[in-house]
């Protein structure tokens, strides 16, 4: 997330200096960094939810067997 923030600030500096091509490239890199960070967070959340669901199913199976 910090890489995305740094890229956006850098892009703003390049826009201020009227170097639009470099600003665009840096802004795109920042957006990609943000997207990859978001994707990793969602994978962690879904993995934790899947693990919780599996644990609940196992507990229900154990209760049915007893």
Domain spans, the chain: 2-65
Residue 65: what pLDDT?
74
Kind plus residue range of the DSSP H or E element containing 47: helix 20-65
Q: Residue 58 burial (CB < 10 Å; 0-12/13-18/19+)?
A: exposed
In contact, 22 and 14? CB cutoff 8 Å: yes
Q: What is the pLDDT of residue 66?
A: 62
Segments in the chain below pLDDT 70:
66
């Amino acid at each position: 997330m910090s890489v995305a923030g740094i890229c956006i600030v850098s892009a703003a500096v390049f826009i201020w200096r009227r170097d639009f091509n470099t600003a665009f490239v840096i802004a795109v890199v920042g957006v990609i960094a943000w997207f990859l960070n978001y994707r990793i967070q969602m994978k962690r959340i879904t993995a934790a939810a899947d693990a919780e669901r599996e644990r609940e199913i196992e507990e229900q199976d154990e209760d049915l067997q007893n």
